[in-house]
Structure 1
Amino acid sequence: MSTEAVEWAMDHAPMLRTEKGKPDTTARHVLQALAEHARSDGTNSHPSVLRLQYRTGYDRTTVQRALRRLEKGELIAKDGTVESRTRWKLAMHLRRPATDWSDLEREEDEFRAAAAERKRRSRTKGVTHSTPVTVTDGDDVTVTDAEFVTADVTHSTPSRHALKVRPSRTERRPNHQQPSDNQLPKDSSSPAAQTDEPSEDLHLKAFGAFWSNYPKKRAREEAKKAWIAAMKRGADPQHIVTAAQDYARERFGQDPKYTKYPATWLNKGCYDDEPDPQPGPQLRAVSGGWQPYKQPDPSAYTRDLGF
C-alpha cells in the first residue's frame, strides 16, 4: 500500500461527476481501492475485479462500470496485464481544482444563512401583540395599550381609589431623570432571556470539522441532527472531533461497509468508547506448554480466488 497514492485518491484526484452533475462517489471509492494496491508513483495496481468487489461492497457490474468511467475521465490508464488481471496506472499528476473547496464553503455559508433566516421568520410568527383593554372603575380611566395610559381622575378623597400608573419605558418621567437600562425590568419574552444554551447555528459551526474527519460521509442531514442532539446532551465538540479522527485511523484500510454511519455513531455515543487494544501475539496450546500462533500461508487461498 502506498500512502502517496491513497492520499492522492482521497484528497487531490479530480472528482468525476454524474450526468446530473452530482459527485460520482462510486467511481471515487473504486479509485481509492486501486490506490491501495499501487506504488508510490501510481503504477503497478492490478487487483482483480473480485478483490475490488470485496473491498468496496459493489457488485461486479458496478465495479466494471466505475472502472470504465475512471478510464474515460483519464484518472487511470491500462498498463498491461499481470496473471490475466489488468494492470492500471493512476494519473497522479492530475489535481483537483481549488474551486471545489471554495464552492463547498460557499454552499455551507448559504445553508447557514438560510437556516438563520428560517429561524428568524419562525420567531417573528410566534410574537403576539396585546389587544387594547378598557378599564372603568368609578373614575374615567382608559388603558389603550401597555405602553400608553391615559388617566382622568377627578376624585382625591380616599387614597385606595387612586390609580397608580407606571410611566412607559419610552416616556421620560417629568422632573426626574430617565431610568437607566439596568433599572428597567427585564423582558422575559426576549430570546436571549429565555435560554442560555447555544443556538443550533453555533452547534453547526463545529460540525464541519467533525464531518471532514469522519471516515464515512453518508446522510449529512441526519448527522447534523445527531450532532445537535449530542451538543444538547452536553458533549464536548473537540472531544467528538478527536474521537472521529481516532475512528478514521482505526477504520483505515478496513471494509467500509462495516464503518458506522455518522448519525449512528453520534446517537450511540461512540465518541466515548474506549480505544481498541493493540493486538498482541496469540498463543496456541502445544505439548508441554504454549507457543505463539503462526498465521497460515494465504497464498494457496489467493491462488484459488485468482488474486
Structure 2
Amino acid sequence: MTDTQANAGTFRATRPGIGTRFLTGAGLIVLVYVALYALYAVQQPKALTSYSIAALLNNTAPLALAAAGQAVIVISRGFDLSVAGVISITNVVLAVWPLDGPGGAAASVLICLAIGALVGTVNGYLVAVLKLQSIAATLATMIICQGIALVILKAPGGWVAEWISYEMTDRIAGVIPVSGLVLGATLLVWFWLRRSAFGISLYAIGADEPSARLSGINTVRVRFLAHVVAGCAYGLAGFMLSAQTATGNPTSGTPLLMLTFAAVALGGTSLSGGRGGVFATMMGAATLTLLQKVLFSSGISSFYTGMFQGVVLILAVVFSSFLTGLGDRK
C-alpha cells in the first residue's frame, strides 16, 4: 500500500457516514424517478415498451454523462463550465469529419475522449497548478472552446456518420439499448475510481483540502486528474449527443450546462464538495429528462420547460442542502 492510499484511508476513516449519505441521496432520487415514470406510463401506455425505454435512454445519455463529469469536479469542491464547450467541439468535429463504420466509430470515440482530456488538462493546470478559481478558469476555456466550435462549423449543419447515428442509438437483440450499455460502463469505471486512492482522495480534498494536504494527499495531482477525468466524460457526452442528433451545432453543449448542475444537486451531491456520487447524479439527469417527457405528454407548452427546469434547480439545491444537513447530524 502506498503512502497516499494509507493517508487517504485514514482520512476516510475519520469521516463516517459518507456512504450512508450517498445511499440516502441515491435512494430518494430513484424513488422520485420511479414515481415520475409511473406517471409517464399512465400518460403514455407505450412507455414500457423496449423501443420507448431505448428512446428515453438515448435522450438521457448526453446529459447523464456530462453530469457525471460535473459531479467529479463538484465532489472536489469545484465547478466546471467548460462542459458546454467540450460537447460543442466534439459535436461539430464528428459532423464535419464523419468516420463511418465500426472502425470509424472507435476512432471517433477516441477523438472525443482526447478532446475532452485535452481541455481537462488545461483546466487542471489552471485550477490545480496555477490556483485559479475554477469558475473563472473553466469559463475562459468554455469561451475558447465555443469559439473553436464556431470556427469549425459556423452554423448548424453537417452530418454524423450513419453507423454512429444508427448503431449507437439502437438496441442489441432488439432489447438492450446501446446507450444503456455506455452508461453502465461509465458507472463501472466510476465505482472502480471511487474505491481507488484517487477516489478516496477526491472526497477528502472536497471535504477539507487543508486537512487532506496535511495527511499527505497530493491535492494538486488529484485535482488535476479530476479535471482530466471530467473532460473525458464530457467528450463521451458529446459523442452520444452527436449520435442522437446526427448533425452538428456549434452551440449544442450550451443547453446542457445548467442542467448538469441541476442533475448534480438533484442527485444529492453537495455543491460544497466532499459528498455525493456519479450514480445518483446520473439518476438526477435521468429524472430531468423524464420530467421533460412528462411535461410534453401533459400538454404543457415547451415555452414553459425552462421555467420548470429553473424551479427544479432551486428545489434540487434545497434538497442537496437538506441531505448535507441530515448527514452532518449523523
Q: TM-score if structure 1 supplies the norm length? A: 0.29
Larger radius of gyration, structure 1 or 2?
Answer: 1
Q: TM-score if structure 2 supplies the norm length? A: 0.27
Q: Which has the higher contact order (CA 8 A, sep 6+)?
A: 2
Structure whose residues are more often strand by fraction? 1
